A and B are shown apart, each in its own frame.
Chain A
């Protein structure tokens, strides 16, 4: 995880040779004066921060965490992570506005919204006067793309279809023929888009895996991004406890949300400073689903019985892939589907950056950042756009009107799996 040059997160500021390549590439600095750029708020400002003195700066709050800076940095400064830590420090000192505390609690909001009453919630949140009021009071922008809650949760669906079988982890027999995998659904799949989870389960089963629905909670990323490290630590440690038994048995944890998997792999351990063996074991055992499928393909173990799909679709690799540092597993895997052509978006970022673009003061920045991507999607003329990250999908659809899906859904379609 730590390369032989890097020593610690704070120390990585030592790598900075002040070249401003990061600032030149930053999509947020390109559209707003409020963000002085990653070098300034990251390795440069870090030399002026004192862990026992109040934070002298605030502009770091405008960092969206998209990690274009990390990607282009010649020397490996962990700029986005430095910024995240600085934001966490500010929150620790100055507290967190109620709005941030609320939107960071994805699991709570999901649980409250999802269910038979979901249509009511969704209507309320699309009702203009209600949104206007929320904007005024809570500073969540009236036009921000809030997701639509599902009438049923993914977990309830999964449990219903497995109700008759005995699937508790302890009952798994080591001599079972099927290989096993834990599916980490995350809040978005569970409460908003169970169809993504359904597709993922189907694809994994089509490849001979038995999918286990482990106990899990919100990965805590919105808490990390908003700087509530104390609560994020609790969430992550709880997830580690829940997932550890599987990982220790060599059962991988696979997720469709690139943000959840990144959080488990690296973001929580690094930014929160959690380095126990258990934390690292769970990190090592976590995979993005397309990363996982690509590894199968590299070992010639991927089921390649695809129906041809004569489609040309725009695909936007979400920013989290920069942090995963794995290239483009979706392109690698979907290139095996005959007839399917993916047009890779060359845009840096859709702008939403998790909860960033929901906030009144940042909404327009987010829309400006994503402008290039929206133009690309609209210009493709396609009736569907693909992206692995849920918040990006909601932003893309909101800005372009084009519906969006997780690439796993296209893969499921290629396997002939009915929706």
Chain B
């Protein structure tokens, strides 16, 4: 078994885990991060993409509200390419308590959430499809965020500072020496190889899985996975985040993120963060709620539905699940449970990931005798290489560039480069160059590529690009001269260990295609009607009718460094 040694082992490759790895690495602490799937496999990759202003929490969870308000400004500064400044409205519909408006205003003032009331006419001018029966509207600095891109950005920075980020490494055992955690055994799902990592501190940043991980160390952390279902609508009928102005509940927000508008969400407690499905009545409920904000909402085309699980940490002294706050907590298991060498950072939300990391790392650094201060709030992070460095600015003046995300960014870039003939994913305007960069940044299946560059996330849900990307994946990974390809991959992956360690065969490529086709189907099925059903049938004509992919099932095998057939990383596990 390969033996690795580090100071801190971070478990969990979501926003929190990578944020911790960055902070640790920046302070010069040797860090290894392990994540059983791709980065953002967990909650980070499955939410609606909201950068909270804090407005949602001003009535019932004021600490969260204040944290969000502060971190909102920080994230805009350090990862601008991940944030779109959509702004946000909180609106009082005829179904909401009209008195809540003043309570909302007061709450914002108390918690430091910037707010201003705008005339309803102004709201309608900016968002003409909103319900004209809305009586009041408040504007807050909500924004939409690309959490995949953000996590990759943070991970890249962590790597640049010397951290090792190991994806598709599943934690199988935590090693204790008496009452002290001294290391862990992980399995590389791409090859089956096991590695032993010894560490001074294990930081459990596994989000909704924190309870499972803690359990491996023999401590009890109660995490109630709160499933939230969301639906992506084909185009942005609103360009501003729109919230129902009331006590937070289900289906009360529409987030415009990239090219889609996401309506969310529900809150159903599930026993296992790896196993859950999407119920039809969740979907129809959300569409009904959408009607209240946008009359005619149900007529818009729905692209797919998915769910993530919130990491709701139930403290020992909380009586009922309903009272679980959304703020975060750092658990020092030595103090709490008598087991040293292990911390858990639990709860929280995406918007506060950096702050969570700061608090966790402050404590851990102190324990390790490291006195360097936290600088994560100050340093602007560069984008990964499958993302544009900067893009033509809104306004399109030649030579003028910007670091921020804006909706027209990819279109402007493709136009500026006259790259329309080179689009591999046409719906999301992904050029061959970006697709290859994504494939070569260590993708272990096509879903990873999707998370990098949105391949397959547009209206056709991969009808064309799944085929093309599979071919490119095959070409990149399987050259006659296997060694040189490995080398090139190693260079592209930043000199890190994210390399497939087996020769890549066509069988592996076929498995990647079938796996991703099933992934897309999983999300389309709950919302399949109207135009999207016709789309799905066309996709079926392409893959079954023209390409005959079902005949390649006997020629599909997991391997070649890909992960396409492991239950550890699939929810509602159904083989393609």
In the complex they form, do A and B come into direct contact, defined as C-beta atoms under 8 angstroms apart? yes
With A and B bound together, what is the CA distance between A17 and B234 in angstroms?
11
- Complex partner residue of B408 from A10, A16, A55, A75, CB under 8 angstroms: A55
Known pairs A11-B300, A14-B234, A55-B396; A48 contacts B407 (CB<8 A): yes
Those of B286-309 within 8 Å (CB) of chain A = 296, 299-301
Contact assessment for A40 and B426 in the assembled complex, using a CB-CB cutoff below 8 Å: yes
A59 at the interface (CB under 8 A from B): yes
Q: Which residue of A lies closest to B239 (CB)?
A: A50
Majority SS at the chain B contact face: loop
Contact assessment for A53 and B406 in the assembled complex, using a CB-CB cutoff below 8 Å: yes
- Complex partner residue of B296 from A7, A37, A75, CB under 8 angstroms: A7
Those of B227-248 within 8 Å (CB) of chain A = 234-237, 239
With A and B bound together, what is the CA distance between A7 and B458 in angstroms?
21
A49 at the interface (CB under 8 A from B): yes
Those of A13-40 within 8 Å (CB) of chain B = 13-19, 33, 36-37, 39-40
Task: For residue A92, give the distance in angstroms from its CB to the closest CB of chain B.
Answer: 14
Q: Which of A10, A50, A56 has the most CB of B within 10 A?
A: A56
Chain A residues with CB under 8 A of B553: none
With A and B bound together, what is the CA distance between A49 and B239 in angstroms?
10
Majority SS at the chain A contact face: loop
Known pairs A14-B301, A18-B464; A56 contacts B409 (CB<8 A): yes
Contact assessment for A50 and B538 in the assembled complex, using a CB-CB cutoff below 8 Å: no
Chain B residues with CB under 8 A of A36: 420-421
Contact assessment for A18 and B463 in the assembled complex, using a CB-CB cutoff below 8 Å: yes
Contact assessment for B300 and A14 in the assembled complex, using a CB-CB cutoff below 8 Å: yes
Task: For residue B34, give the distance in angstroms from its CB to the closest CB of chain A.
Answer: 37
Chain A residues with CB under 8 A of B411: 45, 48-49, 56-57
Contact assessment for B408 and A49 in the assembled complex, using a CB-CB cutoff below 8 Å: yes
Chain A residues with CB under 8 A of B460: 17-18
Task: For residue A198, give the distance in angstroms from its CB to the closest CB of chain B.
Answer: 47
Contact assessment for A14 and B531 in the assembled complex, using a CB-CB cutoff below 8 Å: yes
Query: Number of contact residues on B: which range applies?
Result: 35 or more
B389 at the interface (CB under 8 A from A): no
Chain B residues with CB under 8 A of A46: 235
Known pairs A44-B426, A48-B411, A52-B126; A17 contacts B406 (CB<8 A): no
A58 at the interface (CB under 8 A from B): yes
Known pairs A13-B235, A45-B411, A47-B236; A18 contacts B427 (CB<8 A): yes
Contact assessment for A54 and B394 in the assembled complex, using a CB-CB cutoff below 8 Å: yes
With A and B bound together, what is the CA distance between A54 and B406 in angstroms?
10
Chain A residues with CB under 8 A of B301: 14-15
Contact assessment for B426 and A54 in the assembled complex, using a CB-CB cutoff below 8 Å: no
Chain A residues with CB under 8 A of B296: 7
Chain A residues with CB under 8 A of B426: 18, 39-40, 44
Contact assessment for A52 and B531 in the assembled complex, using a CB-CB cutoff below 8 Å: no
Contact assessment for A57 and B427 in the assembled complex, using a CB-CB cutoff below 8 Å: no
Contact assessment for A48 and B410 in the assembled complex, using a CB-CB cutoff below 8 Å: yes
Chain A residues with CB under 8 A of B408: 48-50, 53-57
Task: For residue A292, give the distance in angstroms from its CB to the closest CB of chain B.
Answer: 35
B429 at the interface (CB under 8 A from A): yes
A51 at the interface (CB under 8 A from B): yes
Chain B residues with CB under 8 A of A17: 459-460, 463, 531, 534-535, 538
Contact assessment for A56 and B412 in the assembled complex, using a CB-CB cutoff below 8 Å: yes
Q: Which residue of B lies closest to A74 (CB)?
A: B534
B337 at the interface (CB under 8 A from A): no
Task: For residue B514, give the distance in angstroms from its CB to the closest CB of chain A.
Answer: 21
Contact assessment for A7 and B531 in the assembled complex, using a CB-CB cutoff below 8 Å: no
Task: For residue A281, give the distance in angstroms from its CB to the closest CB of chain B.
Answer: 25
Q: Which of B239, B395, B418, B459 has the most CB of A within 10 A?
A: B459
Chain A residues with CB under 8 A of B459: 14, 16-18, 47
Contact assessment for B534 and A56 in the assembled complex, using a CB-CB cutoff below 8 Å: no
B259 at the interface (CB under 8 A from A): yes
Q: Which residue of A lies closest to B128 (CB)?
A: A51
With A and B bound together, what is the CA distance between A86 and B459 in angstroms?
20
Those of A40-95 within 8 Å (CB) of chain B = 40, 44-59, 75
Chain A residues with CB under 8 A of B396: 54-56, 58
- Complex partner residue of A51 from B239, B395, B535, CB under 8 angstroms: B239
B392 at the interface (CB under 8 A from A): yes
Q: Which residue of A lies closest to B396 (CB)?
A: A54
With A and B bound together, what is the CA distance between A53 and B405 in angstroms?
12
Known pairs A50-B408, A53-B406; A14 contacts B235 (CB<8 A): yes
Those of B435-460 within 8 Å (CB) of chain A = 458-460
Task: For residue B98, give the distance in angstroms from its CB to the closest CB of chain A.
Answer: 29
Known pairs A14-B235, A50-B407; A56 contacts B392 (CB<8 A): yes
Contact assessment for B531 and A49 in the assembled complex, using a CB-CB cutoff below 8 Å: no
B491 at the interface (CB under 8 A from A): no
With A and B bound together, what is the CA distance between A55 and B395 in angstroms?
7
With A and B bound together, what is the CA distance between A207 and B403 in angstroms?
68
B415 at the interface (CB under 8 A from A): yes
Q: Which residue of A lies closest to B408 (CB)?
A: A56
Contact assessment for B395 and A54 in the assembled complex, using a CB-CB cutoff below 8 Å: yes
Q: Which residue of A lies closest to B235 (CB)?
A: A47
Those of B409-436 within 8 Å (CB) of chain A = 409-412, 415, 418, 420-421, 426-427, 429
- Complex partner residue of A49 from B407, B421, B535, CB under 8 angstroms: B407
Task: For residue A289, give the distance in angstroms from its CB to the closest CB of chain B.
Answer: 37
Task: For residue B539, give the distance in angstroms from its CB to the closest CB of chain A.
Answer: 9
- Complex partner residue of A47 from B259, B300, B463, B534, CB under 8 angstroms: B259
With A and B bound together, what is the CA distance between A51 and B235 in angstroms?
13
**10 closest residue pairs by CB, A with B:** A56-B408, A56-B412, A14-B301, A36-B420, A48-B411, A18-B460, A56-B411, A47-B259, A50-B407, A17-B535
8 contacts between A and B (CB under 8 A): A15-B301, A17-B460, A45-B411, A48-B408, A50-B408, A52-B239, A53-B408, A56-B415
Interface residues of A (CB under 8 A from B): 7, 10-11, 13-19, 33, 36-37, 39-40, 44-59, 75
Interface residues of B (CB under 8 A from A): 126, 234-237, 239, 259, 296, 299-301, 392, 394-396, 406-412, 415, 418, 420-421, 426-427, 429, 458-460, 463-464, 531, 534-535, 538
Additional A-B contacts beyond A44-B426, A47-B427 (20; CB < 8 A): A11-B237, A11-B300, A13-B234, A14-B234, A14-B531, A15-B301, A17-B534, A18-B427, A18-B460, A18-B535, A36-B420, A37-B420, A39-B426, A40-B426, A47-B235, A48-B407, A48-B408, A54-B395, A55-B396, A75-B534
